[in-house]
Structure formats: structure tokens, C-alpha cells
A and B are shown apart, each in its own frame.
Chain A
């Protein structure tokens, strides 16, 4: 593998090796540029991935470490934030795509222009994107082909237009999918095979899924999950121009007197500080760490944080909203086997003014509770939670249950934000991340609306008993969006439509932070399509000498 000297400026320094960073690394190195990727987490291999719920999920083997990287949380700016595990993200080469469930929904056309269609929403930053679905379509197609996505084109009447079918057929339907599909059809709805970034067949030298059942929260030990680690990272390295540097915790992006970035300072695993020089910097640290790094990168020239002349860095944070319910059936579903989700519906995707509030979402049928999680929270809330009857119910319910989860809109609100905690520090002595977040009332109404539909589907499916988990304000974010929003107006956004910051010509932010609105909270496909688009434009701009 190529190694660059930190004192030797590379063409692009990419910070973060996740969903977007992996794509940027591959595309920019393939276009002929010299790239260094700094990743705070370790470089793991497929052989490191274990079917070990305690060791992986409960010990946070693949995600941010709340002990060394504490967060504080508050709902309102008037409160003092208290220590809490407010964000969860992938912390390794591969980022969140290593452990994600692999739901891979494109945005629909409406997601880019909903403000124009719906009208304004007072007290929010609800707005159109500066781009439209038609511009994104080729990049969605590229992402699906490059990474490997299984699905059925045309199976949902609500799907946006696409230029090519999915490169792989859908994964096999599970019992939860069969029950969901029958029930939904009975209700006049339109269920379809869930598009998943998991290989239903061997693809480009990679293995097909073995249906082990350990996708959500785990790395795939056979490389069938289309993570950046299994796909674009090796492609980037194969160019001979890309160096992936794990265990590198970036603390500051540096600028020169002309207001251009010159590289980044980071801590190596053993604590030594290194300054990697670069002609341009691409930040792909996710919607929570990207704004934090910009705020940490204060300088005389940028006293409020880098690229923050708008004051909007960190603002308009959107967490993933959704509602959850379960049902138990007469016969075993054995839904602990295979991928978590096989069927989905988008009938309630669009917002509808008849409902009296803004919002919409998708609903999937799933089973994503491994034995410990099932024991902790898989049974109905009003069932015994310990003792003899609890044990009897565990035995009856584990193989016979399924769950419906909705993924729904979260409105962008300016006070919802990532900022630097004034007191708490992380293990490197840097200000900890402070999270301020409270759902808009319409987010909650949407969740309740979808939950009611989910319960109707469980009824129609013939569940012997069904139970809902109450709709609550979200206090932990897993999909981290909106904090360096994209727009044409430098006063009202942080990056332009090609992810270049309005303030710094050679600084680019590519990840969930660019989102203007939340979509229906399945962001990974759009984050990666945006990255393909950003890389395409960036490589061409660099060739013209415009970086």
C-alpha cells in the first residue's frame, strides 16, 4: 500500500472512512489523485467480525466509545446538558456501513422539493434542496452498481424513476415478510421487497449472504454486506494512490493566511500529534462529528469555527424518527435467521394535508432483536419482565414474533444542534460533543399515525397478540443529519450544491450533514449517491484547476 509523508501535501485529505468517505476515496484516487484517508477507528478485517452480541453490541466494538468520547444531551437550549449517550455512529474503517442493517432506499422526487409542494412550516428550517432527483438519479444507479444492492425495480408504485434495475435480485422473503405482505395487500397497500445493500448472489468476486441473521449491529464476516470496507475502500487502495490511515483522531483542520485549508492535525494511536498536509480537505465524519470538527477548528480568521460565517455549523440537527410495535403468531417465524428486513411499504411516504400535520414515512417488517436484546425488551411492555411467566413467554415468543418499524420525517429546527460542551472533555482533552434535540410536534404525530397503521397491519396479519412501544421524543441519534446544510445562499447554508463550503474554497463536507431535510430517515443510499456526485464534480473541478 502506498504511504505518504505527512509533510508532503497530498491532493485530497479525506477525514472519515465511512459511507461517504469510502466513496470519495475510491472516486478521487481512481480519477488519478493522491489521497490520504484519516479514520479515527481501527482497521478491522472480516475475520475480526464475530456473532457475539455481548462482545460486539454491548461492548461497542464497532461504534463510538461513550467512555472516551462522552456526549452531553439536553432537549432545550435553556437546559444544562447532562452526560448521555446521545449519538451512535460507526467508528472503524467502513464507518456505519460496516454495522448497518443495510436498508438502501433512494430518496423520492418529493424529498428534494417538499417545501415548494407543502408550503412553509413556521419555526422550522423546512426547505427545498438546491438539487433535484433527476440530477441524483445517475449517482444512485452508480452507487447501487458499484456497491451491490439487491432489490426489485418497479415493485413499488411509489418508487421514483430509475435508469437501470437493481444489480441483484431481492433477498429471499422471510416469514415476517410473507405475513406483512399478505396483510398489507388485504388492506389495499403495496408491499415490496426491501432494497438491501446485501448480496443475494455472488457479485464482483464477493460472496452472497449466508443468512446468518447478524446484520444490524454487526460486521459481515463473509463480505456480503456492501459496506465501504468490503467495496470502495479496497478499490481505492488498488489504485495505488490511496492510503487509509486508521487510528487517527483528527483534532483540527488548519488554514493559511489566504483562508484556505492546508491539512489536518491528528493524534496517532499512541497519542503523537501529526500534521498531514493537503491541497484540499474533504470532511466525511457524519452529521455529528463533522460540525464538531469545524467548531474545534477555530482560528483567528475563523473565530466561530471553520466555514461558519452563516453561524449554521451544527444547527438543524435531525435524528432518526420512527415507531415500533410487535406481534406474536401461532407458528414459528424463526425470524432471527437471515437479513433483518425483507418487506417494506411506502404507501404513507408522502405527507398528506388531510392528516392535519406534516410528515410521512415507510414501514418495514423485521426482526432485529438478538437473544440478549430480546430478553431485555422483546416482550410486550405489560407482560412480566422477570420470573417464571417471563421465562415461559421468552420461550414462546422468540421464534414466533416479528416487529414493524416505521422510518419517518424529522423536521429541521435551528436550535436542534451539535455544539461544544463548555465543561466536559473527551479522552484527548478536546471539548466533548453537546447535543441539543427535541422533536417537532409533527414528528411525533407522524410517528403515532404510522404506529396506528403498523398495528392495523399486525391485526390483518393475524397476530395472536400485538403490542406497541409508546411514541416518545427521540433522545439518541443513529442517523445524524442536517448540521452543515446544503444551499445556494451562503447566509442560509454551509455548503453549496457540490458540497464545497461557501467560506473556504478547498474545503468540502460530504456526509449526512449536508441534508436539508431528513427524507424518510433511511439516509445511507442518499449519502453515498451524494458522495459519488460530489466526487465527480470535485475531480472535474480539480482538473480545471478550480480547487
Chain B
């Protein structure tokens, strides 16, 4: 599911940068109190899978289009919001927490972690950006 929230294309998606491990670690440490929400939420997903594809029993068995369809059907639920939150956290948090492997999340969006910068910072405060 995380791999559909931030999918791989020419750059890595959530699965490739370690978001699954990040969420596992999160639920065993900082957010142990969310385990029950995951258990209930995964059951909801399973139900949604069966509703859509009666022959299937697992989300991972579905092809991509069907997976997206399942997630659309639950995207306003608290569980999907939680999963999205954790996926985004794992994708963009400091790599020490297990996600954002090789800083791939930061590289995707152009965030630099030098933490010391000099002006000009961007195009419009630089020489080329002057009218």
C-alpha cells in the first residue's frame, strides 16, 4: 500500500527507500499505541479487497490498477490517513529511522541537507532572477 502512496517510477518509491521497515520500527517504538489501528485497518483493507475482487484474499495479489482502486475506496478512512502519514514520514525523515534510504526522498524533491547555505538561495534572489 505504501508503494502505491509513493510509487516507484524512474526514482525509488516508498517501498524502495525502506518505508516498510520504518513503519515496522515505528509501531514497535514511538507509536506502539497505533498497533491496534493497524490491525483493524488491515482488516478493513482485506474486506475492501474481497468486495472488489471476490477471488482475491490479499492486497498484494492484486495488480496495480486494482490496488489503486482498493485504496481509493478507503482513502477517506482514518486508517488510510494514518498509513499516508507514516508513509510520508518514512519517505522524508532522517535516514537514521530506517526510511529515506540514501536520502532518496530528499533527492527527489531537491532538499539539500548541507545545513549551511549562503545567498543567493534561489533563482529570484540571484543575478538571473532580476528583472
Contacts and interface: CB of A to CB of B under 8 A. Distances in A.
B7 to A, nearest CB: 5
Nearest to B91: A375
A444 B93 CA distance: 35
A53 B92 contact: yes
B124 A53 contact: no
Given A174-B121, A333-B122, A388-B9, A399 B93 contact: no
A333 B123 CA distance: 6
B110 A212 contact: no
A55 B124 CA distance: 32
A52 B120 CA distance: 24
Interface in B83-97: 84-85, 87-89, 91-94, 96-97
B30 A59 contact: yes
Interface stretch (B40-48, B51-59, B101-109): B101-109
Nearest to B71: A386
A218 to B, nearest CB: 11
Residue among A179, A214, A386, A398 having the largest count of chain B Cβ atoms under 10 Å:
A386
B94 A52 contact: yes
Interface in A366-391: 370-372, 374-376, 385-388, 390-391
A335 interface: yes
Given A210-B117, A385-B84, A398-B109, A390 B122 contact: no
A182 B131 CA distance: 10
Given A332-B122, A372-B88, A391 B9 contact: yes
A457 to B, nearest CB: 14
A120 to B, nearest CB: 44
B30 A175 contact: no
Interface string A38-51: 00000000000001
Given A178-B124, A329-B124, A338 B117 contact: yes
B118 interface: yes
A314 B129 CA distance: 51
Given A175-B125, A332-B110, A391-B9, A53 B119 contact: no
A335 B119 CA distance: 11
Contacts of B93: 52-55, 372
B68 A174 contact: no
B7, B85, B97, B119 pick with most chain A CB within 10 angstroms: B119
B68 A387 contact: yes
B94 A172 contact: no
A395 B105 CA distance: 10
A150 to B, nearest CB: 14
B121 A337 contact: yes
Interface string A332-352: 111111100000000000000
Interface string A406-417: 000000000000
B103 to A, nearest CB: 10
- Contact residues on A (Cβ < 8 Å of other chain), bracket: 35 or more
Contacts of A331: 122-124, 129
A372 B112 CA distance: 14
A173 interface: yes
Contacts of A210: 115-117
A372 B111 CA distance: 11
B5 interface: yes
Contacts of B92: 53, 370-372, 374-375
A259 interface: no
Interface in A176-201: 177-179, 182
A424 interface: no
Contacts of A214: 115
Contacts of B117: 210-213, 337-338
Nearest to B1: A386
A182 B75 CA distance: 41
B6 A390 contact: yes
Contacts of A386: 4-6, 71, 75, 84, 87
B120 to A, nearest CB: 8
A238 B105 CA distance: 45
B9 A175 contact: no
Contacts of B71: 386
B125 A387 contact: no
Interface of A: 51-55, 58-59, 172-175, 177-179, 182, 210-214, 329, 331-338, 370-372, 374-376, 385-388, 390-391, 394-395, 398-399
30 contacts: A52-B96, A54-B94, A54-B97, A172-B121, A174-B122, A178-B124, A178-B129, A210-B117, A211-B121, A213-B117, A331-B123, A331-B129, A333-B123, A333-B124, A334-B110, A334-B123, A337-B121, A338-B117, A371-B92, A371-B109, A372-B89, A372-B92, A386-B84, A387-B5, A387-B7, A388-B7, A390-B5, A391-B13, A395-B109, A395-B110
Interface of B: 4-7, 9, 13, 30, 68, 71, 75, 84-85, 87-89, 91-94, 96-97, 105-106, 108-113, 115-125, 129, 131
